[in-house]
Chains A and B, each alone.
Chain A
Amino acid sequence: MARSASPPVDPERPGRRKAGVGPSAAERSEDQTEELGERSVELSHFYGGKIETVPKVPVRSLGDFALWYTPGVAAVSRAIQADPDRAFELTGRWNTIAIVTDGSRVLGLGEIGPEAALPVMEGKALLFKVLGGVDAIPVPIRARSPDEFIATVEAMAPAFGGINLEDIASPKCFGILEKLAHRLPIPVWHDDQLGTAAATVAGLLNALTLTHRSMPEVRTVLLGAGAANLVTARLLLELGHSPHTLTLVDQKGILHADREDLDELELRNPWKYRIALATDGGGRTGDLGAALADADVLLAASTPKPDTVRPEHIRAMAKGPIVFALANPMPEIWPEVAEGAGAAIVATGRSDFPNQVNNSLIFPAVFRGVLDARARAIPDEVVLAAARELARGAALKGLSKHHLLPTMEEPEVFPQIAAAVGDTAVRLGIARRKLSHDEFLERAHALMGRPAQLVRALARARLTPPMPRAAPRRRRKNA
């Protein structure tokens, strides 16, 4: 996109320029992204990646290795051999997860392969540690098929207390999650499905409260039928949303049971097929416009392109509608445009607008909770407990149209979510360790607070070198 070369009023897109926020926000974002990218390469080179392993035991002399390693360690192995669950006490398994990917859908970059996925997985591991106190090991896997991927993850599960699937293309991500969750005795999570859906549901719960609506009575449209929205739809149905007023829309229009491509979906994407049958278009057929007429809620998780949803779409919705435009980096409609067309509440996936629906609000706390409970799985009840607690966290501080969800600067909510997750695991009978609510909370506080101390201490001791100054930025031709 041309930057300062373009005139203040772009004759080709007068509407968007007039709106003020549109192109300038888009351009700002593009410019920033490029600058951050260059800096990220520099720093990745300087630090040689983002994470390393660090001993957590004293090593006073080489003699101590007789305890930590052979011969002492043999007794620890025998204890685990006699009772494999003791691995969760006698090794770091209780707090260690694998971040696994096949590199098939990395960020917005598409299928870039396992090697290129590694920096993203390292970044995720950093988030897991700093936000959740979780030791996460990045493991990109070269797999020729979903079955090979599943077999590989299954084979390495003995080392881990949980598995985080990352950046796997839809729809194969559904089958991979389903099969691994079924086969493994530890929690398996796919953030693009569960994390995003949980954060969306949390935001929606508060938006309904703010606009005096309730779940069974609303008409909701989900734009986009990928990993996140298919799970959001499932969670909404579990929360009591009527299937008769829930409409999914994809590139081919409203997803209903008579659609021509349903047979193909049954073969290629049975998860989408099931939602199509369950909702049957919420009683509607046609395009996005037909879906949105009189709808109370729009949850868009589709293509990152403004104008995917237009002001007239919003105007056709019920009075004071709730609009989540979650595509990144470009929301389906700019918040100002949506508000101008009558939206009562707008949320996006971006941190530079109010109401960011962000899966980082969910996944570190969910893993803290399931790891502390040594849970065997993460059923939807656990996901919903996390969503409800996140919603409650925002409500405790006071809900408003610009404070729908806590921000990342309100970390006090995270241990609460972890405790709610732990409680739910205990209640469902999938916890290997049944702590009380207060014990879960205290533990989460301690473990989630520790990494920040660690990072500070390493910096103070100069064991983590300070960030080098940014190299002068190459000027762009048209700047």
Chain B
Amino acid sequence: MSGEGGRAGRASGSTEPSGPPIHLRPARDADVAALVPLLLRLKRLNEEFDPLLKVREDAEQQARQILKADVGNPKAVVLAAEGVGPDRGKVVGFVRAHVRERAFYAPEFEGVILDIYLLPLYRRRGVGEFVLEEVTKALKAKGAGIVTAEFPAQNEIASRFYSKRGFRPITAVQARSL
């Protein structure tokens, strides 16, 4: 197949100059409406991995509230990914992370990557890596001495993505329904 194309003028692998076809910036209140559907896509994808991750009926409302709270929360990082070129201004992905205090372990502050989502046309070509680097920088700037990522245990794509970049499992969360 002849590489990834796109709608005329959209992100396109073969014709774009090198470098990630996105621009990352801190998310604002005005971005929340655009971020909600992206967060929901991610949670619905998680549902594919495990029935114990079934998305709640009121997930949309939850997403809006959580994103609103995190945008501007000094203990959180929310970066919005915008398209470049003709897609400038369009929110095509985001990353959300928290800085948590570790009660027993050093380093004391942990940057937890909670959600990374990019629309399919804006994946690959180093985009994920770029997002990871940027969010790591932002978490470090907020005092984090360790960065972690949470995702469904069955998500092998995410697992490979992080382990290729020096991550390894440190905590396991197991579940059974009641």
A interface list, Cβ under 8 A from B: 234, 237-238, 243-244, 256-258, 260, 262-264, 266-268, 273-281, 283
Q: Is the CB of A280 within 8 A of B48?
A: no
A283 touches B1 (CB 8 A): no
16 contacts between A and B (CB under 8 A): A234-B1, A237-B2, A244-B5, A257-B10, A258-B119, A258-B120, A260-B41, A260-B44, A263-B44, A263-B45, A263-B120, A277-B6, A277-B120, A277-B121, A280-B6, A283-B8
B17 at the interface (CB under 8 A from A): no
- Given known contacts A257-B119, A258-B119, A283 and B4 CB-to-CB distance under 8 angstroms: no
Question: Quick one: closest B residue to A271, CB to CB?
Answer: B1
Cα-based distance from A275 to B1 in the complex (angstroms): 8
Query: B interface, by DSSP: helix, strand, loop or mixed?
Result: loop
Q: Are B4 and A278 in contact (CB under 8 A)?
A: yes
B166 at the interface (CB under 8 A from A): no
Is B10 a contact of A243 with CB atoms below 8 Å? no
Point out the residues of chain B lying under 8 angstroms from A278, CB to CB: 1-5
Please report the C-alpha to C-alpha distance between residue A263 and residue B157 in the assembled complex, in whole angstroms: 12
B7 interface hit (Cβ, 8 Å)? yes
Chain B residues numbered 97-155 whose CB sits less than 8 Å from any CB in chain A? 119-121
> A257's contact among B2, B45, B120, B157, by CB below 8 Å, is which?
B120
Tell which of B2, B45, B48, B119 touches A243, judged by Cβ atoms closer than 8 Å.
Answer: B2
4 shortest A-B CB distances, which residue pairs?
A: A243-B5, A263-B45, A257-B121, A283-B7
- Please report whether the interface of chain A is mostly helix, strand, loop or mixed according to DSSP: helix
A residues near B45, Cβ cutoff 8 Å:
263-264, 267
| Residue of B5, B7, B48, B121 touching A263 (CB-CB under 8 A) | B48
A110 to B139, CA, bound (A): 53
Given contacts A257-B121, A277-B120, A280-B7, contact A263 B41 (CB under 8 A): yes
**Contact between A264 and B48 (Cβ–Cβ < 8 Å)?**
yes
**C-alpha gap A243/B6 in the complex (Å):** 8
Q: For residue B48, which residues in chain A have a CB less than 8 angstroms away from its CB?
A: 263-264, 267-268
Residues of A within 8 A of B157 (CB): 266-267
Bound complex: CA A279 to CA B6 (Å):
6
B8 contacts A237, CB within 8 Å? no
Chain A positions within 8 Å of B4 at CB level:
277-278
How far apart are B151's CB and chain A's nearest CB, in angstroms?
13
Number of B interface residues in the complex (CB < 8 A):
18
Pick the residue among A234, A237, A244, A264 that contacts B7 (CB under 8 A).
Answer: A244
Q: Which of B2, B3, B120 contacts A273 (CB 8 A)?
A: B120
Asked whether A266 and B120 contact (CB < 8 A) given A280-B6, A280-B10, the answer is yes
Query: What residues of A have a CB within 8 angstroms of the CB of B10 in the complex?
Result: 257, 280
Given contacts A258-B120, A275-B1, A278-B1, 4 further A-B contacts (CB under 8 A): A263-B48, A263-B120, A264-B45, A283-B7
Identify the closest chain B residue to A265 (Cβ). Answer: B120
B123 → chain A closest CB, angstroms: 9
Q: State how many angstroms separate the Cβ of B38 from the closest Cβ of chain A.
A: 11
Q: What residue in chain B is nearest A276 (Cβ atoms)?
A: B120
With a cutoff of 8 Å between Cβ atoms, the chain A residues found around residue B3 in the complex are: 278
Provide the bound-state CA to CA distance between A74 and B119, in Å.
Answer: 62
Closest chain B residue to A234 by CB distance? B1
Residues of B within 8 A of A279 (CB): 5
Interface mask (B19-44 → A, CB under 8 Å = 1, otherwise 0): 00000000000000000000001101
Task: For B1, give its contact among A238, A244, A281 (CB under 8 Å).
Answer: A238
Closest to B41 in A: A263
Could you say which residues of chain B place their CB within 8 Å of the CB of A258? 119-121
Q: Which residue of B lies closest to A245 (CB)?
A: B8
Residues of A contacting B44 in the complex (Cβ-Cβ under 8 angstroms)? 260, 263-264
Q: Residue on B with the closest CB to A277?
A: B4
Chain B nearest CB: distance from A235 CB in Å? 10
Question: Is there contact, CB below 8 Å, between B8 and A244?
Answer: yes
Set B1, B8, B42, B119: member contacting A274, Cβ < 8 A: B1
Closest to A237 in B: B2
Q: Separation in Å of the B125 CB from the closest CB of chain A?
A: 12
- Other-chain residue from A238, A267, A268, A276 in contact with B2 (beta carbon distance below 8 A): A238
Query: Per-residue 0/1 for B154-170: is the Cβ within 8 Å of any A Cβ (1 yes, 0 no)?
Result: 00010000000000000
Minimal Cβ-Cβ distance residue in B for A267: B48
**How far, in angstroms, from A421 to B48 measured CA to CA in the complex?**
42
Task: Tell me if B5 and A280 are in contact (CB < 8 A).
Answer: yes
Residues of A within 8 A of B7 (CB): 244, 256-257, 280-281, 283
With a cutoff of 8 Å between Cβ atoms, the chain A residues found around residue B6 in the complex are 257, 277, 280
* Distance A262 CA – B92 CA, assembled complex (angstroms): 14
Min CB gap A247→B, angstroms: 11
Q: How far is the CA of A263 from the CA of B152 in the complex (A)?
A: 14
**What are the residues of chain B within 8 A of A273 when measuring CB–CB?**
120
Within the complex, the shortest CB–CB distance from A55 to chain B, in Å, comes to 47
Q: How far is the CA of A330 from the CA of B44 in the complex (A)?
A: 36
Least CB separation from A233: chain B residue: B1
In the assembled complex, the CB of B92 is this many whole angstroms from the nearest CB of chain A, namely 9
Compute how far the CA of A234 lies from the CA of B2 in the bound complex, rounded to whole angstroms: 9
Q: In the complex, what distance in Å separates the CA atom of A274 from the CA atom of B119?
A: 13
- The answer, among B1, B41, B120, for a CB contact under 8 Å with A237, is B1
Report the separation of the CA atoms of residues A281 and B8 in the bound assembly, to the nearest whole angstrom: 11
**Most chain A beta-carbon contacts within 10 A, residue among B2, B10, B45, B119:** B2
Q: Closest CB of chain B to A425's CB: distance in Å?
A: 22
